[in-house]
Amino acid sequence: MSLFNFPLSLFNFIAKIIQKMTQKELEELESELKGDLSNLWKAEKCIREELEKRAKPKKLKKNDFVGGLGLIYGKLLKDGELDSGQSHEFKTKKGERILVKTRKGNAGGWKKTGNISKIESDDLPTHLMFVHFNDDYSLDKIWLFPWEDLKNSNRFKKNKKKNSFFVKVDKSDEKYLIYPNK
């Protein structure tokens, strides 16, 4: 199997065999994957450095591996079902519709979510989940923000370059942390 097929195959494998998991099971899965994810990080870093040398002056876009990993971890932590909703990625048994945004690493900008296309409509998420991984793909933190809290406190900021919005996490958001448990 080529390295480029590995991430998608991993997600398909995880999505097919795992239906319900507790936080303990999530931590066990992360522990089981740690070695492979570390190797993947090293390979990705080497490949990315080589590609960036050849892409100058253009800056390469990040791949979707990080987003997929965040989605699967979030779904498992909340015992959700993947959903093809326009505004969210999964639903929980409690009826929560959750949009997931994921970042990896601690370089500048990691505290800012990726693009959120709309913040007002009839089919909005009920929550925004923000997943952060360390550089080696180990899980750092997960925040779960009620959509209304973000809206009412004017946390959605307009992205000046794109027709979208983002949210930036800060120290006052500790009350929204759901992983690790407080």
User: pLDDT tens for residues 30-55?
Assistant: 899 999 989 988 988 887 787 667 65
Rounded CA gap, 113 and 177, in Å? Answer: 15
Summarize pLDDT for 99-118 with one digit per residue, the tens: 999 999 998 899 999 999 99
pLDDT of residue 23: 75
Contact between residue 40 and residue 149 where contact means Cβ atoms under 8 Å apart: no
Determine how β-strand 139-146 pairs with β-strand 177-179. antiparallel
Percent with pLDDT over 90 in the chain: 47
Determine how β-strand 164-166 pairs with β-strand 97-104. unpaired
Q: Does 19 have pLDDT greater than 70?
A: no
Distances in Å between the Cα of 129 and the Cα atoms of 84, 102, 164 are 16, 8, 17
pLDDT of residue 3: 45
What one-letter code names the amino acid at 136? Answer: D
Structural domains for the chain: 6-179 (3.40.210)
